[in-house]
Amino acid sequence: MPKGDGLTMDSPTYQEMRAVIRSQEGRQAAVDAANADLPALAGVDPLIQAKLGLAYNQQSFGPVNAGYEVAAIMREMGYTEAGPGSCPKGCIARSGQRWKSKG
């Protein structure tokens, strides 16, 4: 488990991360990853890295927090959990939840 202080939900870094995930681009990246049988987080991880740079890291629990936000939007969009999966090389997140469409 990473060691660090972590992000609070009201921190500017958390809010920026949340905005990236909830953006149209973030939602589409999550869906595209899910459709490729990858964790939805793997789709938005590069977008978060591009926006936050080094502020998105394991020490701040950034991937864990991002995973919670991604799970929320996937549920909002009607997806259900499909088990854990590994994120590809280049992602800060090491793993995440895979999702499948209810329809």
Buried/exposed 45-73: b ≥16 CB within 10 Å, e otherwise: bebbbebbeebbeeebbbbbbbbebbbeb
Start-to-end CA span in the chain (Å):
35
Parse the chain into domains and list their residue ranges: 12-101
pLDDT higher at 32 or 11: 32
**Percentage of the chain modeled with pLDDT above 70:** 93
Residue 42 pLDDT exceeds 80: yes
- Please give the average per-residue pLDDT across 40-52, as a whole number: 97
